[in-house]
Amino acid sequence: MGILRFLLTMLHVTIIVLLFGTIMNAYISPHEIGMLNLLSLGFPLLIIADILLLIFWIVTWKKRAIVFLVLSLFFIIPTRRWINYTPNKNETPNVKLISLNGKFGNKGDETIYNYLNKQNADVVFFQEYDNVKPLDGFRYFENSRPIVKIQSKFPILESGEVKTDVSTGMCLYADIKINGKIIRFVNVYMEPFFLDKTMVKPTADMDRNEEKAKKVLHKLVPTFKKHQTQIDEIKDFIDKSSYPVIVGGDFNAVPNSYEYYKVSQDLDDDFLKAGQGSGTSFHDFKFPLKIDHIFSSKSIMPIRYTVDRSVEISDHFPILAEFYIK
């Protein structure tokens, strides 16, 4: 029993070190240590293992439980970026935003539009979607680029592309006048990994699994480095804005990643402020992934944040966020 407890202690220490590694993504870029950003993908499994081992130490009345408990307190906010609960707010929202990766309309354009037209949104972000058909009641558009679009019920005063040095990812902005106030909306579509289910699904052949793992790594790390270039340029654009901002879209990056930490500097993660339940938004793989996010300036109050799991109109669930803009 003593050997087992020693091995479990070493395992728990390793897990804690790896969890702190995810926090280091706030300070170490993919160009410096590309593999570090991989840890953010494994955060859900690591935190579950941490909690299970912590329960074991508490149940067996081991003093080391106190040490591991204190260390685990550092991961409360990182965990809340994945799964969260906030009480309902009393304020009435006056702006509703929907962000949706439409997967090129693979499940049908009509299905997507029927859903969105029922939501009574004010602004809609599209990623991986090239249909320029107006939603009901929408009169203002930023449709200048393929696969990324912005539609608005409120007037768009200025809009365009945020130039970044990547080949596929794209970012658009629109300065929208809402109740006499100008808000800069930024729709982000980060460079994709070009992975599909067959590439990550394990098989009975261990050699084949090893080959698959190597191919996935060869796609992930170089894309992380492209993400760094793209998000640094987008963040520079956001920081220069003369107006409050709402930034959302498909970041192809999970919480506690370099991309997440970079874009959230000086902005609120609206899931942390107003989300309830799980924030995971990409459901095509069995592994939980929260890669769609919405952030906003601190002068904007998020009231509700919902990941709508009641529909499957894409391989991403729609993200609905409501705000009160004074």
Distance CA 85, CA 273 (A): 9
Please report the pLDDT score of residue 195 as a whole number.
67
Contact between residue 41 and residue 219 where contact means Cβ atoms under 8 Å apart: no
Eight-class DSSP state of 135: P
Burial of 87 (0-12, 13-18, 19+ CB in 10 A): exposed
Q: What's the confidence (pLDDT) of residue 285?
A: 80
Would you place residue 213 in the very low, low, confident or very high pLDDT band (cuts 50, 70, 90)? low
Q: What is the pLDDT of residues 131-181, one digit of tens each?
A: 878 999 999 999 988 899 999 999 999 999 999 988 889 999 999 999 999
Q: Between 146 and 258, where is the model more confident?
A: 258
Which stretches within the chain are classed as H helix?
Answer: 2-23, 38-41, 43-59, 64-72, 76-80, 109-117, 197-200, 206-239, 258-264, 270-274
Average pLDDT over residues 233-241: 97
Bridging pattern class, strands 95-101 and 123-127: parallel
Report phi then psi at 269, rounded to 5. Answer: -80, 110
The fourth-level CATH superfamily of domain 87-324 is Endonuclease/exonuclease/phosphatase (3.60.10.10)
Residue-range domain boundaries for the chain: 2-80, 87-324
265: helix, coil or strand?
coil
115, 118, 124, 125 alpha-carbon torsion, rounded to 10°: -10
- For residue 94, is pLDDT > 70? yes
Q: Is residue 197 pLDDT above 70, yes or no?
A: no
pLDDT at position 203, please? 67
Cα Rg of the chain, angstroms: 21
**What local confidence, expressed as pLDDT, does residue 246 receive?**
98
pLDDT at 214: 73
Q: How big is the CA angle at 63 (ends 57 and 69), to the nearest 5 degrees?
A: 60
